[in-house]
Structure 1
Amino acid sequence: MRFRADIQNNNVFTKLTASLSSLGPVAWVKLSNEDVRFTVIPDQGSSVWAALAIDQIFETYTIQSAAENNTINLEVPLQNLHRALKSAQNASHASIRLTKKNNIPLLSLTITTAVFAGAPKPATQSAPPDEYGYNPGFPPGDEFGNQFHTDEVDEPSYDRLNRETIITQDIPIKVLSPAVVAGLTEPRSREPDVHIILPPLLQLKSISDRFTKLAVSSTKPANGSTGFRGNTTRMPKLELSANMHGCLRLRLKTDAMDISSRWTGLSNPELDPETVEGGEDGIAQHPSTIMRSRGDPEGISDEGWAVVRLDGKDWGKVLGIGRVGGRVIACFCDENALILYVYLTNEDPGGVESVITYYISSYSQ
């Protein structure tokens, strides 16, 4: 079993792992010849399935496995991976490979960076054990809880100008057998009632977070507690709705307030007959086509809107993917679920498009 790759877009990789780590502590990572897949399925909240084109983040890519279709399945702690990638932001070169030390499987991130004369020598620290029971030691300067090694026998010297230093961070992981991951499949949902391209996610996140803070403050009694004995399912939910005439609405309704923000002039992408069962006839009978006929272009009528109710804190974590950028299509299954498709921009015009899919269940009214 072998995996090695040079990282060409560490900025995107770092932002992606930051967003994913907010949803859950670990990810199932599937490496193959076709793409790199990250799956996060937390105990509660939204799940995410990301399929990244290899050239989206890697420059050279080598994988060898005895498993079917030449695949490798890993369980990776997202915080450790994110912190390691973050430390490589200013590196001149970074690569990642699968290895093993002391019979512990590791993802080793090798960073090449320059050390300048006169740089202060950082103090030595030690890392506490993580949830994998691994207690790495690391040399000066590490604050991330990952094991560091240098390719030199002696400690790095700071007395030479523009010297390149190679540092390796070892991230403990678990290698999963094909049988373990065989049952991991994307959720199935019905055909959406409304599909719409969302406004910039960071703009939507700013307003959603403001509404969530208002919802929390409106439920706190005078003593400062929530009054719900830890049952967050009873907290007021954000109501997100859209129609097939380019309108999106975010609403918070409680006993004390009823506020909303509204976007108009958004796009409802056309369905591709090749992807819809029945082709053109299938599109004519599609729920979104029926929903379009019920609404009005001004969005004044209550007809023709699909509604989902979301936990504000979980929704804010999902919107964190806006750091990565890209086009986002939201598919509303009325009163049931919201599916987000985040299409990342590929700098290679002929490259394969990467997509991150979020599945968010709707709360009942």
Structure 2
Amino acid sequence: MKFRAKINDVGCLNHFTRVVNTITKLTKTCVVRFTPDNIFFVLSGKVTNGGVSMWCELLQVNFFDEYQLEGLSADANEICLEVSPENLSRALKTAQNAKFVKIKLTKKHCPCLTLAAELPSLSSFSRTVTHDIPVDIIPRRLWHDFKEPIMPDFDVSIYLPPLKTMKSVVDRMKNLSNYLVVEANHSGEMNLKIETDLVSVTTHFKDLGHPPWGDGTSQTASQRRDVEAMAHARVDIRKIQQFLMGQQVNPSKSMCTFSRRFYPKRLAQ
């Protein structure tokens, strides 16, 4: 297996660094899949047990000026590695003003992703900083655990309010409860709720809009009958806060989908 890549553009380097920094806030370890066209950061936690799953897909041509990959074989031309994103983030921080950054798969005392950054110098001699980031190579028999997840059928899909605004609300609510109820409907309404024996607090958002999902065949019959019915989920508020604190890529839009049955307002009254 061989992998080597090179980033010359400072803007691409900074963007790649922000992506890695965001992932660092979400998990201590993740799997990186290198394919001829893409780089994937994958975390396949058991959501049913309170874990977090993550799928991050990057087109390599958007970041790398040079990109060479030789996988296990012609029919399995990819490489899967388990890596600490924090170690990768630390290495990238030293390369923010670099003339270029090279990343390659090496074998030192163990398999490593070696990152070499050539830094600007006032003298005629170049300065190169090298980081060896230990990784574990994922055997091919386990690759099926790190394929793109299938989007489940959902009841509601809605755009989130500005993440900074949402973070401000969640930061205030965390002192009241360990759990947050998030609910939304097809009228573009979304609520963040705290409900305890002592206090009930709700923040309302309106006119959020909905992502375009093709011909809309994912909608259920109940959705079409009552656009004001609320789909809801009760989540650990620390998980929501962790997601909001980790955002460093400044997305223009973020979306949220609910895959539970509706929770009709008329039954809650």
Corresponding residue to 1:182 among 144, 149, 155: 144
Corresponding residue to 2:173 among 173, 197, 211: 211
Partner of 1:108: 114
The answer on 1:251 being equivalent to 2:193 is yes
Partner of 2:234: 309
The CA deviation at 1:185 is 4.3
Partner of 1:329: 255
Larger Rg: 1
Matches for 1:82-121 after TM superposition, within 5 Å: 82-102=89-109, 104-116=110-122
The answer on 1:4 being equivalent to 2:4 is yes
Partner of 1:122: none
* Identical residues among aligned pairs (%): 29
Corresponding residue to 1:70 among 77, 94, 111: 77
Partner of 2:62: 56
Query: What is the RMSD computed on CA atoms of the aligned residues?
Result: 2.3
Greater shift in the superposed pair: 22-31 or 41-50: 41-50
Partner of 1:141: none
The answer on 1:195 being equivalent to 2:153 is no
CA deviation map 1:204-255 (0-9, x unaligned): 122212211332xxxxxxxxxxxxxxxxxxxx31011111111111111112
Residue pair 1:291, 1:305 contacting (<8 A) in 2 also: no
Matches for 1:131-210 after TM superposition, within 5 Å: 160=123, 163-185=125-147, 190-210=152-172
Partner of 2:34: 31
Residue pair 2:32, 2:80 contacting (<8 A) in 1 also: yes
Partner of 2:212: 270
Residue pair 2:233, 2:258 contacting (<8 A) in 1 also: yes
Partners of 1:209 and 1:29 lie apart in 2 by 31
CA deviation map 1:106-146 (0-9, x unaligned): 11111111244xxxxxxxxxxxxxxxxxxxxxxxxxxxxxx
Partner of 2:43: 40
Greater shift in the superposed pair: 71-80 or 9-18: 9-18
- SS state of the match for residue 22, structure 1? helix
Residue pair 2:38, 2:60 contacting (<8 A) in 1 also: yes
TM-score by length of 2: 0.85
